[in-house]
Amino acid sequence: MSQIFSSGQSTSIDALREQWTSVMMSNYGTPSIRLVRGSGSRVWDDQGVDYIDLIAGIAVNALGHADPRITDSVTRQLSTLGHVSNLFATDPGLQLAARLIAITGWDDSARVFFCNSGAEANEAAFKMARLTGRTHMVVAQSGFHGRTMGALALTSQPAKQDPFRPLPGEVTAVPFGDEAALRAAVTQETAAILLEPVQGEGGVIPAPAGYLAAAREIADQSGALLILDEVQSGIGRTGTWFAHQHASLGPVVPDVITLAKGLGGGIPIGAVVAHGRAAALLGAGSHGSTFGGNPVSASAALAVLNAIDSDGLLERASFVHERFARELPARSSGVVRSVRGLGLLMAAELNDVPSATVDLALKQAGVLANAVSPDAIRMAPALNISDAEIDDALDRWEIACSALQNGESA
């Protein structure tokens, strides 16, 4: 296995650092890898080093890199009709909205709003909640809903919030999974409860059994909306179209779901899907998005949904999860204790090795993942990751962990 930090590669890293810092703002850490090409779940850097991609653009590349179905769909649409704004209708946008409603299984009251990202979807949901006439929101601690000011107000992570206070209120954060705390926080003034079925940035933590059902009951009793943030967990990632449909989490029926990430398979798109009274909250002129639901993004999303259906990727997500959960701890030289999560939204729980250390060792062994918390590595690979790519990923994990335990470079 080639090391990525050979002398030539170190020179490349220095050049990348200099170029990055000369043109980019410093809100991100300077990357150590410049990627230039991808195919399936494999990518290559500018030195020709290949990596198995287990993070897929943070749960975005549902069909991996350069999937011909997305490429062909986007190329065909862009060569026919690109952007038209929300002043006009296009077939791809209308078809996508109908398709999303169909896979929710909701009744014909359901409606869709398109935007460009998860943060924007959650902003729209926040505004919908305000249009109920109530202002109080209840969210979960360690939840993540975006970095725009409204979405950030709903993101109960002090390190992200504190530099930007005061934030829009009134928001109460309760411990995730604590039914009693949720019940105590929700009042007759609560507009909505907003939860992730699986906390992604919070460490890949699925809601405890019965928690979402309790949230549904509490919302009904108080007259609040139940909004589920499926930005990271939706579009087949957990083995069902949406995580709230997963047997281990309910299933439940929320009033609103927010989507993005995997929906476009790498092309930016977000969506809000609502039904019942929630679907009628956004009236004429109350909200909008110049690019949202444009025909190119909608065509990409339709290609993703078609591929998930035709390739049986819902069932495969559970199969791949079981394989990682079974094999990774056994091959990790004691570094990995277990694998948690649902479907292909997973985290390797670590034994006494900092996640940043493991993340670096994985890169050196040719694996791209994410140190999502101090004791866990997040993996959200493409839904169509092949058996051969899984074999390679597990081999490289084993090399990285063995090197760590032996005090060597991978």
Among residues 237, 251, 160, the alpha carbon closest in space to that of 207 is found at 251
- The whole-number pLDDT of residue 9 equals 66
* Residue 257: domain span: 87-310
pLDDT computed for residue 11 by the predictor: 77
Residue 98 lies in a domain: yes
- Give domain status of residue 374, yes or no: no
Output the CA angle 79-84-87, nearest 5 degrees.
160
- Domain-embedded: residue 351: no
The residue type of 322 is E
- Of 244, 300, 230, 237, the C-alpha closest to 272 is 230
pLDDT score for 8: 58
pLDDT of 1 reads 41
Specify the pLDDT at position 3: 45
Predicted local distance difference test score (pLDDT) of residue 169 = 86
Helices (H) and strands (E) in the chain, counts: 13, 17
> What's the pLDDT at 4?
45
Please check whether residue 114 lies inside any domain of the structure.
yes
Flag residues of the chain having pLDDT under 70.
1-9, 409-410
pLDDT at 137: 98
Distance CA 272, CA 123 (A): 10
Distance CA 118, CA 151 (A): 9
Does 42 reside within a domain?
no
Domain total for the chain? 1
Backbone angles phi, psi at 240, to 5 degrees: -130, 165
Instruction: State pLDDT tens for residues 231-265.
Output: 999 999 999 999 999 999 989 999 999 999 999 99
Residue 124 lies in a domain: yes
* pLDDT (0 to 100) of residue 410: 56
CATH code, domain with 132: 3.40.640.10
Distances (CA, A) of 55 to 347, 366, 383: 11, 13, 11
